Structure formats: structure tokens, C-alpha cells
């Protein structure tokens, strides 16, 4: 089983969920599979923890959900709203800024 990485996970599930839902509407199980595929299994979550994040994003208007009957089972599909796209843009900018900062810090030779 892939190792989970909780200390660095703050805000990451939100960013990934918004990014993946920007492409297609998906339900929870499908989203977890897509996160694994998109990150090359570098990020592994306890799969159940995505639901509170999804519900919270829906509550703040970044996502909307609808129920669909598929193969005799009702699934909740999530999709991005306009507000969600704006939130994704902001999170992506934040992430790139932090990523760039950390990359710079790693390249600077350490002082004795």
C-alpha cells in the first residue's frame, strides 16, 4: 500500500479535487482513482477523507452535486462551479509560488 503523507497534505486534496473536477464531473470513488493516476500514486489518501472535503467545497459554493442512477446504484456526481474555477486559479497560483520558493531554497547551497 502506498504511504500516506499527512503533514504535507494541508490544502492539497482541495487543489487536486478542484483540478480534476475542472475536466469532468466525477463521483468519490472515481475521484480517488483519478488522484492516484494523476499523481503517479505519489499522493495516497485514506479514501474516506475526500468526502468531507467535497462536502465542504460544495457548501462554500465551489462545487455542485447531483445524484445519478448508474447500474442500479445512485451515485453523487460533483462538478465545478464558476466560484470553484476562481478558487482553483487562486490555489494553483499559491501552490506554484510555494513550489518555486521551495525549489529555490533547495538549490541554494547551505552555509557552513
Partner 1 sequence: MHELDLSRLQNELLRSGVAPRHVRRTVDELSDHYEDLVEQGLSEGLDSRSARSGAMTSLGEFEDIARAVRAQPELRSWAFRFPRVAAVVYPLTCAVLLPAAPVFIGAAHANHLARWALCLFLSAVVTAAMFLMLQMAITLT
Site for partner 1 in 12-51 (CB under 8 A): 27-29, 32, 45-49, 51
25 contacts: CB under 8 Å, gap ≥ 6: 77, 78, 79
Nearer to partner 1, 10 or 104 (CB): 10
Q: What is the Cα 74 distance to its own chain's centre?
A: 23
Q: How far are the Cα atoms of 65, 93, 95, 97 from residue 105, in angstroms, in the given order? A: 41, 18, 15, 12
69 contacts: CB under 8 Å, gap ≥ 6: 75
Give least dist CB 111 to partner 1, A.
38
**Residues 53-92, mask of contacts with partner 1 (x by CB under 8 A):** x-xx--xx------------xxxx----------------
Q: Which residues bind partner 1 (CB under 8 A)?
A: 1, 27-29, 32, 45-49, 51-53, 55-56, 59-60, 73-76
Amino acid at each position: 500500500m502506498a504511504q500516506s503523507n499527512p503533514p504535507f497534505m494541508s490544502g492539497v486534496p482541495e487543489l487536486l479535487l478542484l483540478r480534476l473536477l475542472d475536466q469532468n464531473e466525477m463521483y468519490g470513488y472515481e475521484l480517488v482513482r483519478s488522484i492516484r493516476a494523476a499523481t503517479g500514486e505519489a499522493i495516497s489518501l485514506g479514501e474516506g477523507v475526500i468526502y468531507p472535503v467535497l462536502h465542504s467545497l460544495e457548501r462554500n459554493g465551489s462545487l455542485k452535486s447531483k445524484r445519478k442512477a448508474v447500474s442500479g446504484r445512485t451515485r453523487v456526481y460533483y462538478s465545478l462551479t464558476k466560484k470553484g474555477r476562481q478558487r482553483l486559479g487562486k490555489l494553483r497560483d499559491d501552490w506554484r509560488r510555494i513550489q518555486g520558493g521551495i525549489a529555490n531554497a533547495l538549490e541554494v547551497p547551505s552555509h557552513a
